[in-house]
């Protein structure tokens, strides 16, 4: 009986490995952890948000188990390396590209939650030919600031870094996280989210929202005529339309009323149906 039990465990482990291989890509000596599901040259790429990790997408297992998919731990997060460096959006986007190249994927559908949506936009700017479509999950994306506004942006970033540093910074951070919840966020889910976000080192959570991008801001800013969807819980549809449709003219907007920032965890069934519908409409 014991032998059969352990044999069953080994078989389960082998099945998991076959369907969800844990791998590491390399970006300038930084190890980027990701999970790879299925095979083929086109993949869904799940990009988590600020101080989160790839496990925040576990509710999407019915989707990534049935489509070629990559789930990525951004640098500084999850099982990826956490060097004490600046963390601008282009570093994260290049980490996504490193995982995509390592997985031998040539075309992607990006799914970015929160900061992950901004990273998806940076990826589109850097590697537009690789992107088939983009799904933003409660992420408000804006055009990069013109060069004359960089000094003001840097001042805001320094203030943000101060507000998130030290003992007071941790309290401010927890306060921000708590504000992301809704009545749909169960106590157990709140505890899980807080614990995982607090596990991200302070220097990473500060740098991830205070590192100024070095990408040039083209004038006029380009737009990208690819299918795009914004699933918004905390942003008004009017604001999303005004700020994001100049960038993605074909943007579709869904406003989920009375949901929190982690809507894909609060209601995975509805979220997964929405993903499948959008993916199916843009084969």
Domains within the chain, CATH numbers bracketed: 20-143+230-281 (3.40.50.1820)
The region, left, alpha or beta by phi > 0 then psi within -120 to 50, assigned to residue 221 is beta
CB burial of 37-52 (b: ≥16 within 10 Å; e: otherwise) equals: beeeeebbbbbbbbbb
- Beta-carbon contacts of 192 under 8 Å, excluding residues fewer than 6 positions away, are none
Could you tell me which of 123, 93, 145 has the C-alpha nearest to residue 228?
A: 123
Task: State the pLDDT at residue 147.
Answer: 62
Strand, helix or coil for residue 59: helix
Cα–Cα distance measured from residue 13 to residue 16, given in angstroms and rounded to the nearest whole number: 5
Task: State the pLDDT at residue 47.
Answer: 98
Strand, helix or coil for residue 36: strand
CB distance 275 to 63 below 8 Å: yes
- Beta-carbon contacts of 211 under 8 Å, excluding residues fewer than 6 positions away, are 86, 87, 88, 91, 157
Cα–Cα distance measured from residue 232 to residue 252, given in angstroms and rounded to the nearest whole number: 11
DSSP H helical ranges for 60-183: 61-64, 89-102, 115-126, 150-163, 166-178
Cα–Cα distance measured from residue 164 to residue 137, given in angstroms and rounded to the nearest whole number: 24
The C-alpha angle 176, 181, 185, rounded to 5 degrees, equals: 150
DSSP H helical ranges for the chain: 2-19, 61-64, 89-102, 115-126, 150-163, 166-178, 187-199, 202-207, 237-244, 263-266, 268-281
Backbone angles phi, psi at 55, to 5 degrees: -70, -15
* pTM, two decimal places: 0.91
Q: Can the peptide bond before residue 220 be classed as cis, meaning omega within 30 degrees of 0? A: yes
User: Quick one: CA dihedral 166, 171, 176, 177, positive or negative?
Assistant: positive
Task: State the pLDDT at residue 19.
Answer: 62
Cα–Cα distance measured from residue 99 to residue 23, given in angstroms and rounded to the nearest whole number: 9
Task: State the pLDDT at residue 85.
Answer: 97
195-211 pLDDT, tens digit each: 999 999 999 999 998 88
Residues of the chain with pLDDT under 70: 1-19, 145-151, 153-154, 157, 219
């Amino acid at each position: 009986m014991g032998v059969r039990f352990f044999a069953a465990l080994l078989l389960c482990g082998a099945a998991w490995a076959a369907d969800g291989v844990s791998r590491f890509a390399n970006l300038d000596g930084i190890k980027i952890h990701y999970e790879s599901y299925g095979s083929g040259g086109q993949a869904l790429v799940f990009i988590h948000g600020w101080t989160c990790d790839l496990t925040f997408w576990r509710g999407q297992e019915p989707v990534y188990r049935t489509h070629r998919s990559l789930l990525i731990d951004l640098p500084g997060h999850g099982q990826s390396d956490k060097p004490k460096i600046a963390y601008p959006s282009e570093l994260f986007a290049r980490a996504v590209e490193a995982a995509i190249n390592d997985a031998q994927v040539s075309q992607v559908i990006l799914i970015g939650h929160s900061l992950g949506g901004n990273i998806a936009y940076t990826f589109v700017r850097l590697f537009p030919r690789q992107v088939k479509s983009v799904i933003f999950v409660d992420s408000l994306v804006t055009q990069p600031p013109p060069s004359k506004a960089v000094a003001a942006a840097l001042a805001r970033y320094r203030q943000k870094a101060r507000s998130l540093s030290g003992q007071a910074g941790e309290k401010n951070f927890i306060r921000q996280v708590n504000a992301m919840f809704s009545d749909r966020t169960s106590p157990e889910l709140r505890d899980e989210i807080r614990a995982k976000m607090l596990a991200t080192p302070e220097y990473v959570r500060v740098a991830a929202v205070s590192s100024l991008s070095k990408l040039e801001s083209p004038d006029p800013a380009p737009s990208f005529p690819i299918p795009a969807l914004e699933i918004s819980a905390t942003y008004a549809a009017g604001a999303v339309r005004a700020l994001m449709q100049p960038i993605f003219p074909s943007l579709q907007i869904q406003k989920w009323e009375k949901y929190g920032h982690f809507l894909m965890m609060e209601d995975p069934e509805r979220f997964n149906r929405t993903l499948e519908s959008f993916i199916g409409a843009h084969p």
